[in-house]
Structure 1
Amino acid sequence: MRLFSFFTVLSLASLSFPATAEQTVFSHQDTMNANDMPSLADLLTIESSVSIFYSYARELALSELFNKQVGLKEELGRANANGGLTLLVPTNKAVMALARKPHQSAQSQDNEDIAISEEELFKQSRDNVQRWVEAHIIPTSPLTYPAPTTTYDTLLQGKSVTLASGTAPDAQSDEDWKSVTINEGIRIISMKQASNGVLYIIDGTIDVD
């Protein structure tokens, strides 16, 4: 099973990256024609610095949304789904710095001596990954920030992220994302516009606990 194998490799990898602070941002309207732009899936494919996130995400059915151009409201069953998606994508370094990897759970670490079947471990790992990836997806794009802080719901039920802007709402520009932090610490490293949303590369991860 490819997903299980990937999780196993990550679990056994030697991790030496230090934990870093994180920040996240919002997006802006782009004047380019959507047909001239890559999709979110295209951007994730060519961006090697976030390959771990995409390796997790593409094992899930929801990754099909990264190629879709319209119909998010119907696809997600969310009345508030607007436009495309906003992806908050952690760097490989940020993921590797996690003490508990996305496919792991607190219970599995506390009960390492309890034997469970490979099938149960696979299901548990997939559920953990599903929650983690969903917490990094906002079903709205572009994002706006009419106030110093704005909260957005993610695809993970009951999980939201708070964006704090260092720029006055009445003085916005295409690069205002550079002054935004997420959840009081996560920093946005870069922003990439896609035909079906916006991809923000961040230097931390969204906590799902």
Structure 2
Amino acid sequence: MRLNPLTTLILYPFIFASSTSAIWDPSSSLPSRQQPLLKHLEHQSMMDKILSGLIRPQQTAPNEDVNPESSDSPIISDVLPKTKAINVFARLTRDFDAIANRLNDGSKNITVLAPRNSAIQNLPRKPWENPADYEKFGEVNAYEGSDGQDRAKRNLQRFVEAHLIPVSPWRIGEEVETLAGEKLTWTKDGDKMFIQPGNIEVDSVAEKVHNGEVWVLNNVINYRQE
């Protein structure tokens, strides 16, 4: 059946759009936090459909609030790696899916208490070491084999969780539990901030984003592996 020129002109954009969408899906090759180009393409495609009468534009209720935080707003997982002085701790947070997912969830506020690299390096034992494991399994076997590796991983996860506060902003004098279950508060002495117990000095508040803050510590939080 031959189509007259007018019919061809009307149908051609829909045939072209259908064939190209099967060949290339831009969302499949770009990260979930979409790039401006993809947003432009999506907007253009939506306008084409609206103008073609296939769908009606969505209406916003007159009193409907719009979320002030766009998908492009930075979150904790975006800014944590930016401070070189705490990049050892930042790398540790990516070793555990539950922790990485928590830091990547922009809907849940969190305060990260990140020890300086030097504080971790100067520990009398590695973050995954527990004296109780050495007493029970011996120096050689404590972290050997699959069971030993599991013990080391659990110890290291507890170390990281001991430095994560599931609230932000964290107000002075407010007692909160870390993800490891330890209760902490913080105080001020002049211009200096200290986390209690332990009187651990806060070197600086390195980053502030809409779902939390990154605090740089001059020491580590007690993670109960004495």
Q: What TM bracket, shorter-length normalisation?
A: 0.5 to 0.7
CA distance in 1, matches of 2:157, 2:139: 22
Alignment of 1:82-101 (within 5 A): 84-101=109-126
The corresponding residue for 1:189 is 203
Check 1:86–1:112 CA distance in 2 against 1; reply closer, same or farther (3 A cut).
same
Check 1:116–1:59 CA distance in 2 against 1; reply closer, same or farther (3 A cut).
closer
2:188 corresponds to 1:165: yes
CA distance in 1, matches of 2:101, 2:204: 23
How many Å apart are 1:46 and its aligned residue? 2.0
The corresponding residue for 1:132 is 159
The corresponding residue for 1:153 is 177
Give 3-state SS (helix, strand or coil) of 1:42's partner. Answer: helix
TM-score by length of 1: 0.65
RMSD: 2.1
Per-residue CA deviations over 1:126-173 (Å, capped at 9, x if unaligned) read 10011111111111101112xxx432211112x111211236xxxxxx
Check whether the contact 2:129–2:152 (CA below 8 A) recurs between aligned residues. yes
Structure label with greater radius of gyration: 2
CA distance in 2, matches of 1:48, 1:37: 22
2:170 corresponds to 1:143: yes
Which letter maps to 2:203?
I
Which runs of no fewer than 5 residues in structure 1 stay unpaired? 1-32, 73-83, 168-177
How many Å apart are 1:107 and its aligned residue? 2.7
CA distance in 2, matches of 1:129, 1:143: 24
Structure of greater relative contact order (alpha carbons < 8 Å, 6+ residues apart): 1
CA distance in 2, matches of 1:65, 1:90: 19
The corresponding residue for 2:132 is 107
CA distance in 1, matches of 2:126, 2:146: 19
Check whether the contact 1:136–1:206 (CA below 8 A) recurs between aligned residues. yes
How many Å apart are 1:68 and its aligned residue? 1.1
Check 1:116–1:127 CA distance in 2 against 1; reply closer, same or farther (3 A cut).
closer
The corresponding residue for 1:54 is 90
Identity of aligned residues (%): 25
Give the aligned length.
Answer: 151
The corresponding residue for 1:121 is 148
Per-residue CA deviations over 1:155-207 (Å, capped at 9, x if unaligned) read 112x111211236xxxxxxxxxx432012421111211023211101111001
Check 1:112–1:85 CA distance in 2 against 1; reply closer, same or farther (3 A cut).
same
Check whether the contact 1:190–1:200 (CA below 8 A) recurs between aligned residues. yes
The corresponding residue for 2:213 is 198
Give 3-state SS (helix, strand or coil) of 1:140's partner. Answer: coil
Which letter maps to 1:196?
N
Check 1:132–1:52 CA distance in 2 against 1; reply closer, same or farther (3 A cut).
same
The corresponding residue for 2:193 is 180
TM-score by length of 2: 0.61
How many Å apart are 1:117 and its aligned residue? 4.3
CA distance in 1, matches of 2:142, 2:151: 13
Instruction: Name the structure with the higher helix share.
Output: 2
Give 3-state SS (helix, strand or coil) of 2:175's partner. Answer: strand
The corresponding residue for 1:38 is 74
Which letter maps to 1:151?
E
The range that moved more, 87-96 or 106-115, is: 106-115
